Amino acid sequence: MLTLKLLRENPEFVIERLQVKHFDAKEIVYQILDMDRQRRAAQTELDACLAQQKARSAEIGSLMKQGQRAEAEEAKKAVAELKEKSKALEEKMAEAEKKQQELVVLLPNLPCALVPEGRTAEDNLVVKMGGPEPHLPENALPHWELVKNLDIIDFDLGVKLTGAGFPVYKGKGARIQRALISWFLEKNTDAGYLEYQPPYMVNADSGFGTGQLPDKEGQMYYAPLDGFYMIPTAEVPVTNIYRDIILKKEDFPVKMTAYTPCWRREAGSYGKDVRGLNRLHQFDKVEIVRLELPENSYAALDEMVAHVETLVQDLGLRYRILRLCGGDMSFTSAITYDFEVYSAAQQRWLEVSSVSNFESYQANRLKLRYKDENGKTQLAHTLNGSSLALPRILAAIIEDYQMPDGHIVVPEVLRKYTGFDII
């Protein structure tokens, strides 16, 4: 979340920058500042009241020793009244602080200066394209038909077991899924990311820490009996490893990676874009997360984008990198680069990764800090990226590597993990 210091010192800047995200922040910002003034005024009054209380309390003993009982009783009465007033002021402060906090979490992160103007995905800026053009056979099929013919992914069985959006991977379909996960993790660990295997459910504090709560409750699966949320991405548990932690400057950078299944309700999704593996409720993803000093976070972002690019390049897929416009960015991101791979069979681009810098927004929620060279506590920066999300990567591989006979060539980098060349 945004810091109160920023809101106090630069309210108009906050309002102006959030217009890039098409978020009207004016009313909320000034409500926050009003609550802040009320809280600080109550604090000043409370400090004065406690000082009077202390002084009058000290008088009581002295008055009693001097035999001035009436005066001592008056002092006791005054102390009792001051205690009641202090209690009321503390309650007023707590209420103002609670309302202020409720308002602050409604404000998205500020987009950085590199973020282009725009409202929808159509306004995103293509910053790079690469990879070979797919050359499909004349009888090319979309992946949902290919996998049915080869009996490697069963969507109908998933509906029977759970519901739509929960496919069952079988035989070579399961093997190539596992191969992708192993290869992604190996590439990430070779690049210096420490592998974790985190829980797949998190508590509300973790959801708040990375910004999924209170913004995305409707997209998360929830177990009310335990108060746990199924994770929508490994970003949530992995970043929260460092919640309420104070690091040293020499601890940076912190680089982490994890494979997890992920769950998203994807409420409101419909139409041709959800066919097959295009949009699922449960899917596998490998994530990279970095904690950085503020002055290094944008260089780290560039490194992460370059790393993800090597993955799609090594898979031999046609891809493009987009810098998201203000209207298409997430609530918590300061800047996001999306990777899309081209599905020639569907004749459309499929998003397979988002790489984002959150600057200090998540760190403020997480209370993730470090001591600078002067011993002063500062907020760290957090970043993350998919490396990669599997369903659409697998869809693109199946479609772009299909042969005229309906079989699929396995990308060369995966063969030592699958043990076969052809599906």
User: For 155-176, how does the pLDDT look when each residue is reduced to its tens digit (9 = 90+)?
Assistant: 999 999 999 999 999 999 999 9
Asked whether the predicted pLDDT for residue 215 surpasses 80, the reply is: no
User: Between these two residues, 274 and 139, which has the higher pLDDT value?
Assistant: 139
Asked whether the predicted pLDDT for residue 270 surpasses 70, the reply is: no
User: For 119-136, how does the pLDDT look when each residue is reduced to its tens digit (9 = 90+)?
Assistant: 999 999 999 999 999 999
User: For 76-113, how does the pLDDT look when each residue is reduced to its tens digit (9 = 90+)?
Assistant: 888 899 999 999 999 999 999 999 999 999 999 999 99
Helices within 292-414 (DSSP H only)? 297-314, 361-366, 390-400
What are the structure tokens assigned to 399, written together? 């479609």
Q: What is the mean pLDDT of residues 30-49?
A: 95
Q: How many CB atoms within 10 Å of residue 73?
A: 13
**With left for phi above 0 and alpha for psi between -120 and 50, is residue 408 left, alpha or beta?**
beta
For tokens 């906050």, name the residue.
14
Share of the chain above pLDDT 70, in %: 98
| DSSP-derived secondary structure letter, 182 | H
* CATH T-level fold of 4-104: Helix Hairpins (1.10.287)
Identify the CA nearest to 126 among candidates 338, 312, 333, 273.
338
In which element (H, E) is residue 322 found?
strand 319-323
CB hemisphere CA count around 335 (13 angstroms)? 19
| DSSP-derived secondary structure letter, 375 | S
Q: Does domain 121-418 have CATH number 3.30.930.10?
A: yes
Whole-model pTM: value is 0.93
Asked whether the predicted pLDDT for residue 268 surpasses 70, the reply is: no
Asked whether the predicted pLDDT for residue 69 surpasses 70, the reply is: yes
Identify the CA nearest to 158 among candidates 270, 283, 260.
283
Q: What is the pLDDT of residue 123?
A: 97
Q: How many CB atoms within 10 Å of residue 47?
A: 12
Mean pLDDT of the chain: 95
Q: What is the mean pLDDT of residues 274-288?
A: 95
In degrees and rounded to multiples of 5, residue 171 shows phi and psi of: 50, -120
Asked whether the predicted pLDDT for residue 269 surpasses 70, the reply is: no
Asked whether the predicted pLDDT for residue 316 surpasses 90, the reply is: yes
Per-domain residue ranges of the chain: 4-104, 121-418
**Cα–Cα distance for residue pair 389/354, rounded to 1 Å:** 9
Q: pLDDT band for position 339 (50/70/90)?
A: very high
Common-topology check for domains 4-104 and 121-418: no
User: For 224-243, how does the pLDDT look when each residue is reduced to its tens digit (9 = 90+)?
Assistant: 999 999 999 999 999 999 99
Q: What is the pLDDT of residue 271?
A: 56
Q: What is the pLDDT of residue 200?
A: 98
Q: What is the pLDDT of residue 290?
A: 98
- Read off the amino acid at residue 147: V
Asked whether the predicted pLDDT for residue 312 surpasses 90, the reply is: yes
Q: What is the pLDDT of residue 272?
A: 57
Asked whether the predicted pLDDT for residue 196 surpasses 90, the reply is: yes
Share of the chain above pLDDT 90, in %: 89
